Structure 1
Amino acid sequence: MKRWSMRQLEAWKENPRRKPLLLLGARQVGKTWLMQEFGRIHYKNVVYVRFDKDESMRQTFEQDYDVPRLLDALHVRSKVRIEPGETLVILDEIQECPSALTALKYFCEEARDLHIIAAGSLLGVAEHTGTGFPVGKVDRVYLYPMSFTEFLDATGNAVYVELIWRRDWQMMKLFHTKLVELLRTYYYVGGMPEAVAAYAENRDVVMVRQIQLALLEDYRNDFRKHASKEETHLISQIWKSLPSQLSREDKRFIASAVEPGCRAAKLRGPIRWLEDAGLIQLIPRVFRPEIPLQAYTDAAFKMFFLDVGLLAAKCEMDADVLLEGNNIFMQYKGALTEQYVQQQLCAECGMSPYYWSAEKAQAEVDFLISHARRVIPIEVKAERNLQAKSLRSFCKRYSCKLALRVSMSGYEVSEVRISDGPSCPGGHVYSILDIPLYSISSAPVALAEMISKERD
């Protein structure tokens, strides 16, 4: 397998001002494999410590933060000489040794020339639970489940990755049926590396589902093991409510859907725990689409799952749906499609999406992004029907000049003219960039090209 996050690790390695690196992400997204593969490719040797299985190293780090002593202990334990630039020190499952997490601060201050990378499944939780987190003393990379293009590469379809990255719309049109078929499969398999590997090896969707269900059970066990007793019940109830939250027409998170009569304030702690564990992503609502978007959010939000395949498993979606044409894209009122787009915007495009809705939810734009100092609305369509009343309403109301629409249709750039009226004196013209769902990773460059042409 290849992970595109390898490029971020390579950039970290070459940065002369590097700090110890924290690799963040949910359980089983591939952090250990990525660190070890990075070490294998780019370093002469690797020192690997896994704190959940090495009691002696836990005790070593719990004694004090004497950096020379810690380096000597790592050398003796691994029988590897630690050389700056030549050795990668990997501290895995570091959440099991809070003292090792704190020690990263001292490595940063006293051994900046060493290349140290740490990872753990619940580091986000540790940051907010009183652990001595090395704030300001570490660099960070967040690892998501495998994106659609990573899935294509892993399953022997790298040729289509090149088409998407080159934005070869003509060739994509020729292979549209095949790309849609692969996207259907990705909705089912998702991006968890173990599930992708099982599918890549033998195309066994039954095994894929078994792996997904086991992962979901592991996450439930984490609630019981790592969350407080007071929060465990509500965390489980939020987790249980996710499919129903996402399958409504209005996907805004509703506290009473977790438990009848439940207030949002009661759920803040449990929601934060799930977010810190990397199991959910919150997309805030923007009441005024201006830059910076974060400054114009209110209390409303949508809650998304960490992976489209795990969401399909949690919804108990049967593998037969893979044989039923494109119905999968519209399942659960388009929930899987919106989940897919959100996942790719974060993992592949490196974007932080928001959403917008009008008063009384009369109109809603699925996502808003900030790109090239502009606010770009994104409309997600799970079918070929390209009617976009909410998008039109948004562009008219805020004089938006460019919008993105992703759907089952092909690439097209069109101009929309809104006639003069009381709410739009003089009328308004805006452009819509239409791209296929499977090419969402090309959106940042495609949008930048359109903006550049406007300026020319």
Structure 2
Amino acid sequence: MAEFKRDIYARLSAWAEATEHKPIVLCGARQVGKTHVLKVLGRDKFESFSYVNLFDGGAKAALTGVDSVHMLLDSMEAFNGVRVRPGKTLLCIDEIQEIPDLLTLLKALREEMPDLHVAVAGSYLGMAQHEDLSFPVGSVTSIDMYPMTFVEFLEAVGDGVIAERIRNQRIETLEGFAERLERRVRQYCFVGGMPEVVKAFVEDGYQHARAVQKELLSNYDMDFSKHPRTGVDSEKVRLVFSSIPSHLARENHKFIFGHIARGARAAQYESAIQQIVDSGLALRVYRVEKPAAPLPSYRDDSAFKLYLHDVGLLAAALDLTPASVVLGDDGLTEFRGALTEQYVCQQLVAVGITPMYWSNANSTGEVDFVFAGNGAIIPLEAKAGTERHKRSLKWLCDKYGICGYRTSMRNYKEQDWLTNVPLWIVGSYFRPWLASDYEPDGGADLGPLPNTDDEG
């Protein structure tokens, strides 16, 4: 696979160089790039790399029944022939959910071999099936990994200089690139951030990217049966997952159980929804009754929206064409709105934000996203083009005395009560408000990037 630049690598690199460190548990949906980034880390930051993937039958057999640090190291060396040396070796167990008992050894590894760097990875899809699965609290560092963000996508398609300006908040230098960035946002809404799809787009264009997307969606569908959660009907999981795109294609994006099947109720499908969310394949955005701190105390658990974990997969599930997404077919206005909300949600979640949304009691007024940051409550409206704000946002800001934000294809502009944040910087713009460990120049080059022109 082409070695795309991933922002998470900066954090992993700092961990590799730290004198004191806990074992890392890297989680994320299938195919978001966990394995690749750990292999790059082992190659570039350590003298040796001891790796096993428990989806491999031989590796799983070798580590089944391991119940001590000594036995683990001996079994790893016997299987892959790599001698584990603290301070020089990265020990990596991929798809650890296949032997969940190994997670209990992470605490012992830290206590008995504090100088050894240990990283384990697991897909939420597999980890979610083990209801009694728990990390040794306080003894590990858990990190979530998501699909490539828009900034990472920019670098993959050859716009690394612009990506760095976005990362470093050099907003004033971006206005001259507005037309180019608008096109890139539209491309990203079709391609998304799944690394294999981005690779296919860079190398062969839209058609190949769509083929990979369809394959991923098919694989997820099969995985629901292969990795069932105890007590959860896999057919209900499949029905919920397949209904998410159609929910987002409606004017009201709120998740309605009756849209899954006639007579469907929350009690029948809640466990299926939770499995999909735990798997990292969907993002649940709850309604808040009031945009005030502490925001979670005003959460309405009975009302929520479900987004997919990747905007490109949403476009694929809706069978949207490159012409409709990238060129902007006027006949697909409702889908552009859905893609824009999905895009914004994805960028916010990737930088550590937990977005919610606000609506009044009778759902006649709504603001797309509400979240806490910088000691304030942030209402954010997502617009597909350059349209003006909805009256709901102004009403909410006036009533609660808060400043409003809109993200759209317009350039950055601060007004009396409203700040417009361009869609291309929305994640990077709000990230410093939330993440204490944020560094503007985060990320690392994992290797040469293939060339591409504006057309992909």
> How has the CA–CA distance of structure 1 residues 61 and 166 changed in structure 2, closer, same or farther, with 3 Å as cutoff?
closer
Find the counterpart in structure 2 of residue 139 from structure 1: 141
> How has the CA–CA distance of structure 1 residues 165 and 397 changed in structure 2, closer, same or farther, with 3 Å as cutoff?
same
Q: In 2, Cα distance between the equivalents of 1:95 and 1:320?
A: 41
Task: Give the aligned residue type for 1:35.
Answer: L
Find the counterpart in structure 1 of residue 311 from structure 2: 308
Q: In 2, Cα distance between the equivalents of 1:329 and 1:33?
A: 36
> How has the CA–CA distance of structure 1 residues 326 and 6 changed in structure 2, closer, same or farther, with 3 Å as cutoff?
farther
Root mean square deviation of aligned Cα: 2.2
Assess if the C-alpha contact under 8 Å between 1:24 and 1:123 holds in 2. Answer: no
> How has the CA–CA distance of structure 1 residues 250 and 167 changed in structure 2, closer, same or farther, with 3 Å as cutoff?
same
Q: In 2, Cα distance between the equivalents of 1:179 and 1:263?
A: 43
Secondary structure at 1:361's aligned position in 2?
coil
CA displacement 1:396-441 (0-9 Å, x = unmatched) = 22111x22210111111000xxxxxxxxxxxxxxx31112111213
CA displacement 1:165-203 (0-9 Å, x = unmatched) = 34344432212111111111111111000010111123x
Query: How far 1:323 moved relative to its partner?
Result: 5.7
Q: Report % sequence identity.
A: 38
Query: How far 1:362 moved relative to its partner?
Result: 1.9
Q: In 2, Cα distance between the equivalents of 1:297 and 1:196?
A: 36
Alignment counterpart, residue 334 of structure 1, candidates 321, 333, 337: 337
> Aligned ranges for residues 265-414 of structure 1 at < 5 Å?
265-299=267-301, 300-322=303-325, 324-325=327-328, 327=330, 330-332=333-335, 334-347=337-350, 349-400=351-402, 402-414=403-415
> Aligned ranges for residues 113-262 of structure 1 at < 5 Å?
113-122=115-124, 125-126=127-128, 128-131=130-133, 133-202=135-204, 204-228=205-229, 230-262=232-264
CA displacement 1:266-301 (0-9 Å, x = unmatched) = 111101110111100101111222233222211211
Matched, 1:101 2:103: yes
> How has the CA–CA distance of structure 1 residues 291 and 205 changed in structure 2, closer, same or farther, with 3 Å as cutoff?
same
Q: In 2, Cα distance between the equivalents of 1:327 and 1:88?
A: 52
Task: Give the aligned residue type for 2:421.
Answer: I
Secondary structure at 1:23's aligned position in 2?
strand
Q: In 2, Cα distance between the equivalents of 1:269 and 1:15?
A: 40
Find the counterpart in structure 2 of residue 76 from structure 1: 78
What 5-or-longer segments of structure 2 have no aligned partner? Answer: 435-456
Q: In 1, Cα distance between the equivalents of 2:57 and 2:112?
A: 25
Of 244-253 and 266-275, the range deviating more from structure 2: 244-253
> How has the CA–CA distance of structure 1 residues 15 and 216 changed in structure 2, closer, same or farther, with 3 Å as cutoff?
same
Q: In 1, Cα distance between the equivalents of 2:345 and 2:331?
A: 17
> How has the CA–CA distance of structure 1 residues 9 and 328 changed in structure 2, closer, same or farther, with 3 Å as cutoff?
farther
Which consecutive segments of 4 or more residues in structure 1 shift more than 4 A?
Answer: 14-17, 326-329, 445-448
Q: In 2, Cα distance between the equivalents of 1:446 and 1:79?
A: 44
Task: Give the aligned residue type for 1:162.
Answer: E
Find the counterpart in structure 2 of residue 422 from structure 1: none
Q: In 2, Cα distance between the equivalents of 1:196 and 1:327?
A: 26
Q: In 2, Cα distance between the equivalents of 1:220 and 1:136?
A: 35
What 5-or-longer segments of structure 1 have no aligned partner? Answer: 416-430, 449-456
Assess if the C-alpha contact under 8 Å between 2:394 and 2:404 holds in 1. Answer: no
Alignment counterpart, residue 419 of structure 2, candidates 433, 436, 439: 433
Of structures 1 and 2, the larger Rg is shown by 1
Find the counterpart in structure 2 of residue 63 from structure 1: 65
> How has the CA–CA distance of structure 1 residues 166 and 137 changed in structure 2, closer, same or farther, with 3 Å as cutoff?
closer
Q: In 2, Cα distance between the equivalents of 1:58 and 1:77?
A: 10
Task: Give the aligned residue type for 1:91.
Answer: I
Of 211-220 and 358-367, the range deviating more from structure 2: 358-367
> How has the CA–CA distance of structure 1 residues 106 and 33 changed in structure 2, closer, same or farther, with 3 Å as cutoff?
same
Find the counterpart in structure 2 of residue 426 from structure 1: none
CA displacement 1:22-76 (0-9 Å, x = unmatched) = 1100110111101001111111110011111142x43443334121122122223
Where relative contact order (Cα < 8 A, 6+ residues apart) is larger, the structure is 2
CA displacement 1:224-279 (0-9 Å, x = unmatched) = 11115851111111112111211222211111111111111211110111011110
Equivalent pairs counted in the alignment come to 429
Find the counterpart in structure 1 of residue 31 from structure 2: 28
Query: How far 1:136 moved relative to its partner?
Result: 4.0
Q: In 2, Cα distance between the equivalents of 1:283 and 1:343?
A: 11
TM-score, structure 1 as length reference: 0.88
Task: Give the aligned residue type for 1:432.
Answer: L
Assess if the C-alpha contact under 8 Å between 2:324 and 2:332 holds in 1. Answer: no
Query: How far 1:223 moved relative to its partner?
Result: 0.6
Of 335-344 and 256-265, the range deviating more from structure 2: 256-265
> How has the CA–CA distance of structure 1 residues 328 and 104 changed in structure 2, closer, same or farther, with 3 Å as cutoff?
farther
